[in-house]
């Protein structure tokens, strides 16, 4: 069980603000259950919100989970923090996965940087024909190209 101030949550998340303000179980009981975010991810989210501490995001898997939470619960500060960390870990072996996650979670800076990386590295990462195919499938790539 994690504790947080309702006002802080509402300030940082329009989704959580709505859950806490309208007459729902969460607003009446001063407690909410968030089942789609694991404990450690939510702990990291709260750490970012309360202190600005982002050291946990040095782990790519943690950063991706936090990015997802930031998008789903409309937490711009949390989403931006994870996106910034991910910008610095792009490599040949993860760029396509990061591009996919960027597209899925509307992380435009990450998407743009992944596309630039792929274009700079050329066929070593992805043949141009494949990039065109991805551009059709992924909204963020079309915006970045």
Higher pLDDT, 119 or 142: 119
CA–chain centroid gap for 40, Å, is: 15
- Architecture category of domain 35-144 in CATH: 2-Layer Sandwich (3.30)
| pLDDT at site 78 | 98
| pLDDT at site 2 | 87
Q: Where are the domains of the chain?
A: 35-144
Residue-wise pLDDT for 52-90, tens only, equals 999 999 999 999 999 999 999 999 999 999 999 999 999
Continuous segment of H or E residues that includes residue 141: helix 139-144
Q: Which residues of 38-50 are buried (b: 16+ CB within 10 A; e: fewer)?
A: eeebbebbbbbbe
CB of 145 closer than 8 Å to CB of 137: no
| pLDDT at site 24 | 61
DSSP letter (8 states) at residue 74: T
Q: Distances in Å between the alpha carbon of 21 and those of 16, 35, 78, 86?
A: 9, 19, 21, 33
Residue-wise pLDDT for 33-55, tens only, equals 888 999 999 999 999 999 999 99
CA–CA separation, 23 vs 83, rounded Å?
Answer: 33
Closest CA to 73 of 36, 43, 102: 36
User: Looking at residues 16-33, what average pLDDT do you find?
Assistant: 73
| pLDDT at site 143 | 56
CA–CA separation, 89 vs 53, rounded Å?
Answer: 18
| pLDDT at site 74 | 97
pTM for the whole structure? 0.86
Q: Which of 4-13, 17-26, 61-70 has the lowest mean pLDDT?
A: 17-26
Residue-wise pLDDT for 87-124, tens only, equals 999 999 999 899 999 999 999 999 999 988 988 887 77
């Amino acid at each position: 069980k994690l504790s947080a101030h309702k006002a802080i949550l509402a300030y940082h998340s329009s989704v959580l603000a709505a859950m806490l303000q309208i007459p729902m179980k969460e607003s009446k009981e001063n407690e909410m259950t968030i089942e789609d975010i694991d404990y450690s991810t939510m702990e990291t989210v709260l750490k970012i919100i309360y202190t600005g501490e982002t050291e946990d995001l040095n782990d790519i898997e943690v950063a991706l989970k936090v990015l997802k939470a930031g998008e789903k619960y409309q937490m711009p500060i949390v989403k931006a923090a994870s996106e910034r960390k991910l910008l610095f870990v792009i490599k040949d072996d993860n760029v396509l996965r990061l591009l996919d996650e960027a597209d899925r979670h509307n992380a435009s800076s990450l998407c743009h940087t992944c596309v630039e990386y792929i274009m700079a590295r050329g066929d070593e990462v992805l043949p141009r024909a494949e990039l065109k195919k991805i551009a059709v499938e992924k909204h963020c790539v079309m915006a970045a190209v």
